Structure 1
Amino acid sequence: MVNHQRVERIRRSDNLLCLRKRAFRPATTDSEHGYLIYPNLAAKLVPTATNQLWVADITYVLLSEHFVYLAVVLDAFSRRVVGWALADHLRAELALAALDMSLRERDAIPGGLIHHSDLGIQYACGAYVKRLTARRIQPSMSRAGCPWDNAMAESFTATLKREEVDGREYRDLADAKALIGQFIETGYNRQRRHSALDYLAPEVLELAQRSRPPHAAAGIVEGDWATMCV
């Protein structure tokens, strides 16, 4: 009887170590493009009300035989998902569908909203930027190689994978859309509590904000972006 450490030493002496193959993860960000890159306007901003800062991201979801892709837009104040779209492609229409849902759901003040994303071509392309500028929304983008610049969106996708996607077998795109949509709209937006929100759910926080006096939620203040993403 020997333990695993002795077996590992023997295998190493004979050059028989096993190397685990990393699971395939499709790339969702293509930053090698010729479109304009916008500066990071969200780095030191802490929103004090809804519709001051939105963060956007795209992630993948594995079906039985192929990947599909989820685009989301979150309000950085409440963590609420205000727009999302699921499709079997990574074209700009995916990100635009999530943005269009956000614009239907929200009544943002022209010139008072920053939209932050990574450097992906879906967000930098002319059609997406045109949609933002038409509504006088200021584009903002992460720095290259800095995942913390979009940490809040990354935090949401990690929650989605951990609490909904992992261990789930979706039959097809329609099944994934129905179940993920239910998780976002009911489980995440209405029920999931966040430590950064005093353990309130996003929708509950927004309802509480509406009952506050107007002067209690005015403007965007500087702060530490990373601490907002718990």
Structure 2
Amino acid sequence: MAAEKLPVQVACRVLAVSESGYYARLSRAPSERAVRHAWLTDLIRQVHTDSRGIYGGRRVHAELTLGHGVAVGHCQVELLMQRAGLHGVTGRPKWKRIKPDNISTDSVNRDFARALPNQLWVTDITEHPTREGKVYCCVVLDTYSRRVVGWAIDASPNAALVTNALGMAIDTRHGNTRAAGTVIHSDQGTQFGSWAFTDRAKNSGLVPSMGSVGDCYDNAMIESFWSRVQVELLDRKKWKTRIELANAMFDYLEIWHNRQRRHSALGMLTPIEFERTHIITVA
């Protein structure tokens, strides 16, 4: 107790011993117990070092009793290890799902039909391997015409990937003006909950929206889009380099999907044709 900085007078009163007896003991030779503890501590430290710092109390105790033939209790080993600051390697920490910085409510509720452009955008990321490594692509889709209004490709699925895709969509649709009330809907991926993505959306007048965790139906339109891309482009060959795949994805998104591919949901028009037809009709 005195070694732990407690006043000697208080400690002696609590233990009902005399102060003179305490100070007399300090001048005496170490007891057999103290000597044994010192010897055991050195042996425990050696066992712990030989185990590469892995062993905890149970295995150190087993090594002492089975490997060295030392008669010692488990609790004594634990006590001496604790005093010596020795610890075993603990198990891997339990995996916790990373929460996005900003969780938005679901403003879509699986209803993707919209009567005008720029009312609802959906976004998501896909990945595909090449011999050099994976390529990640984020797309922003206008649900009114199924047109890809923004996209970005990178070698890692970080916040910059989704923010760049959103920035392209904003520049394509709104230029320098604010997107008055356009909903941008995504899953609860950490990239879409990042400060960079959320700040870019809100500063541009967009309304962030997120589906529930692990439910593909909450973002079904963009999931269906990526399913088509897998079948029509990504799975049709083995890709050698990231550049080769990135060029093919650019051609698919900007040339084929937006300008040439006929969509059954649009009356067999392409997305750009469908939007032009709407503008003429409104005019």
Distance, in Å, in 2 between the alignment partners of 1:209 and 1:38 is 31
More helix by share: 2
Query: 1:81 matched to which residue of 2?
Result: 148
Report the secondary structure of 1:121's partner residue.
coil
Alignment-mate amino acid for residue 110 of structure 1:
A
Q: Which residue of 2 aligns with 1:151?
A: 220
- The sequence identity of aligned pairs, in percent, is 35
- 2:229 alignment partner in structure 1: 160
By percentage of residues, which structure has more strand? 1
Going from structure 1 to structure 2, the CA distance change for 1:92 and 1:205 (only over 3 Å counts) comes to same
Question: In the TM superposition, what are the counterparts of 1:19-58 in structure 2 within 5 Å?
Answer: 32-43=98-109, 44=111, 46-58=113-125
TM-score by length of 1: 0.76
The Cα of 1:95 is off from its aligned counterpart by 0.6
1:138 alignment partner, one of 207, 212, 234: 207
Q: Counterpart amino acid of 1:36? A: N
**Number of positions where the alignment pairs a residue of Structure 1 with one of Structure 2:** 185
- Which residue among 98, 117, 120 is the counterpart of 2:165? 98
Shifted more, 147-156 versus 37-46: the winner is: 37-46
Shift, 1:168, TM fit? 2.2
Q: CA deviation at 1:167?
A: 2.1
Indicate how the Cα distance of structure 1 residues 140 and 31 shifts in structure 2: closer, same or farther if over 3 A, else same: farther
Q: TM-score scaled to structure 2, two decimals?
A: 0.62
> By how many angstroms is 1:90 displaced?
1.1
Q: Is the 8 A contact 2:185 2:208 kept in 1?
A: yes
Q: Which moved more, 1:37-46 or 1:110-119?
A: 37-46
Residue identity opposite 1:197 in structure 2? L
Distance 1:69 1:170 in 2: 14
| Deviation of the 1:136 alpha carbon | 1.1
Runs of 4+ in 1 over 6 A off after TM superposition: none
* Equivalent of 1:71 in 127, 138, 144: 138
User: What per-residue deviation string (whole Å, max 9, x for no partner) do you get for residues 3-60 of structure 1?
Assistant: xxxxxxxxxxxxxxxxxxxxxxxxxxx9622522111111235211111100000000
Please state how far the C-alpha of 1:138 moved relative to its aligned partner: 0.3
Q: Alignment partner of 2:191: what SS?
A: helix
AA aligned to 1:212 is T
For the structure 1 residues 162 and 89, does the alpha-carbon distance in structure 2 shift closer, same or farther, using more than 3 Å as the test? same
Q: Structure 2 vs 1, CA of residues 136 and 50 (structure 1 numbering), >3 Å: closer, same or farther?
A: same
Distance 2:196 2:178 in 1: 21
**Change beyond 3 A, Cα 1:121–1:176:** same
Distance 1:203 1:144 in 2: 33
Is 1:209 the counterpart of 2:278? The answer is: yes
RMSD (Å) for aligned C-alpha atoms:
1.7
Query: If you compute each CA radius of gyration, which structure gives the higher value, 1 or 2?
Result: 2
SS in 1 for 2:209: strand
Preserved contact between residue 113 and residue 137 of structure 1 (Cα < 8 Å): yes
